[in-house]
Chain A
């Protein structure tokens, strides 16, 4: 089944403790992207990647890092999480000119 898998689904962590949210897709898509979704603000793009080793900042990249060493994986790294990064995160991938396939989301709480 074609899908985007992100883990974990839920995560509660403390301020400053580094964490990684993994994302993997099995569709050989070139484009991958991370979004965060907050009430009243909609979906905002954090980072995106057009291909392996090519990543670019989205609208809200501060406090996040990504890497794209392989086509299928696009992890999101929070080096020092803060409470304002509490959010619902989505990873997504797509082929050129196609719609996105989204992961199921990661609900992150930073206390």
Chain B
């Protein structure tokens, strides 16, 4: 069952520009998480935002959460070529025993 849906599916920008990715989900959640995956490698946890939080920062990353709209956004500021990767949102549902459910991801390409 797909919970998170990222938008856009693919994004190409120049180094130094900001990249914004969006995630929409369907059911109530405990928290929402963003991950990065470099091609063929394991996912790396970037940031977790709880359902009672609206915004969170980590370095060049800014995540917002709007539970009324069931959506989240990930902003990467001043992007670098090394940010080229796929980005996934994952939801931790309120239902007991339900583990993280991932969206299909946004592929970000940053060119120098």
| Residues of chain A at the chain B interface (Cβ within 8 Å) | 4, 31, 33, 35, 40-43, 45, 48, 50, 56, 58-59, 88, 90, 92, 94, 97-105, 107
**Given A90-B43, A105-B40, CB of A99 within 8 Å of CB of B33:** yes
| Residues of chain B at the chain A interface (Cβ within 8 Å) | 1-2, 30-31, 33, 35, 40-48, 50, 88, 90, 92, 97, 99-105
Q: Are B105 and A31 in contact (CB under 8 A)?
A: no
Our pick among A4, A41, A56, A104 for the contact of B41 (Cβ within 8 Å) is: A104
Contacts of B50 in A (CB 8 A): 97
Q: Are B48 and A43 in contact (CB under 8 A)?
A: no
Q: Could you tell me the distance between the alpha carbons of A104 and B43 in the complex, rounded to whole angstroms?
A: 8
Our pick among B33, B99, B103 for the contact of A48 (Cβ within 8 Å) is: B99
B57 to chain A minimum Cβ distance, whole angstroms, is: 16
Q: Are A42 and B99 in contact (CB under 8 A)?
A: no
Contacts of A107 in B (CB 8 A): 40
Our pick among B31, B43, B47 for the contact of A97 (Cβ within 8 Å) is: B31
Contacts of A4 in B (CB 8 A): 42
Which residue of chain B is the closest to A4 with respect to CB atoms? B42
Which residue of chain A is the closest to B33 with respect to CB atoms? A99
Which residue of chain B is the closest to A88 with respect to CB atoms? B40
Q: Are B43 and A45 in contact (CB under 8 A)?
A: no
Q: Could you tell me the distance between the alpha carbons of A2 and B43 in the complex, rounded to whole angstroms?
A: 15
Contacts of B104 in A (CB 8 A): 40-42
Our pick among A40, A50, A100, A105 for the contact of B100 (Cβ within 8 Å) is: A100
